[in-house]
Amino acid sequence: MEKRTLGTSGLQVSSLGLGCMGLSFGLGPATEKSEAIKLIRAAVERGVTFFDTAEVYGPYVNEEIVGQALEPFRKDVVIATKFGFQADPENDNRWTATNSRPGHIKQAVEGSLKRLRTDAIDLLYQHRVDKGTPIEDTAGAVKDLIQEGKVRHFGLSEAGAQTIRRAHAVQRVAALQSEYSLFWREPEQSVIPTLEELGIGFVPFSPLGKGFLTGTIDASTRFDSTDFRAIVPRFSEDNRKANQALVQVITSFAKQKGATPAQIALAWLLIKKPWIVPIPGTTRLSRLEENLGSTTIHLTADDVRTIEEASSAINIQGERYPVTHAKLIDR
């Protein structure tokens, strides 16, 4: 698989990464550990070198799986993980409280290093901007960890343009991870121009719209109680029905290209900028191989124009997060 460099950081990764969250958290019942490890290693065998996890996925379990799966290949892969949440004892110990104070960051990193079975984290993201801690303090703490050799690169997740600038002024930001797809194009307004100006890579999560752009979800789909989409407004039955118009546009175009809707959605992201590296997640080998097939699809400028004009004409229904999660997004 071809490699890409995240901005001007020098951090080189496969053009498509693997988001590992869904193997143990957030999108239905967890995958059995041995099967999850097998899938991650299958990705390595197929050329994937970029793997994404976080301490809150599980919590902790996902980092342990990723660490065990990648231990034999550690020198050949890039592992990204995240800090920034703290269990809230007044809310059933849910990870809804942000905490990016320097002391907490260093404590979180020690735990992640052990679970990931490594002596250095390749890319460490702040999971969500902590409005109670100046971003300069957070960036400074990560800078210290980089100087100590425990972290190699600093990243942000769901951060707005001004926060990105402030953090970057203290410690070079190698990558921003945020939602971006044909289902959610808001980053094009101010975030992507900022990233391009500062030489920061972009790692879109949910590049397939949490599975919606694959064409396998419709108004009749029923989500498991452990599936985050069950509480996402955009995935209500009425909104899924209304938003099928976007899937139809992508599906129609995919047929013309002899590809699947998922492959077109990913190929669109890959053609947008050479420093964009999507991280679709999956629990199935067949889907992994389908996603990787997107790297061989070439879209022309006319193709991109056609897709964007048709998709922009559709008014997507529903917010992408419930209120409790939306309040954590930095603007």
Q: Which domains does the chain have, with CATH numbers?
A: 3-326 (3.20.20.100)
Please list the active-site residues. Answer: 57
Q: Is the dihedral of CA 162, 160, 91, 113 positive or negative?
A: negative
What distances in angstroms separate CA 169 from CA 62, 136, 152, 211, 254, one per listed residue? Answer: 32, 8, 17, 36, 42
Residue type, 75: K
Question: Above 60 in pLDDT, residue 227?
Answer: yes
pLDDT at residue number 240: 97
pLDDT digits (tens, 9 = 90+) for 80-90: 999 999 876 66
pLDDT at residue number 329: 86
Question: Above 70 in pLDDT, residue 204?
Answer: yes
Question: Above 60 in pLDDT, residue 93?
Answer: no
pLDDT class of 92 with cuts at 50, 70, 90: low
pLDDT digits (tens, 9 = 90+) for 190-202: 999 999 999 999 9
Instruction: Residue 46: name the closest of 276, 290, 224 by CA.
Output: 290
pLDDT class of 121 with cuts at 50, 70, 90: very high
At 207, list the tokens: 């590049």
Give the separation between CA 139 and CA 2, rounded to whole angstroms. 31
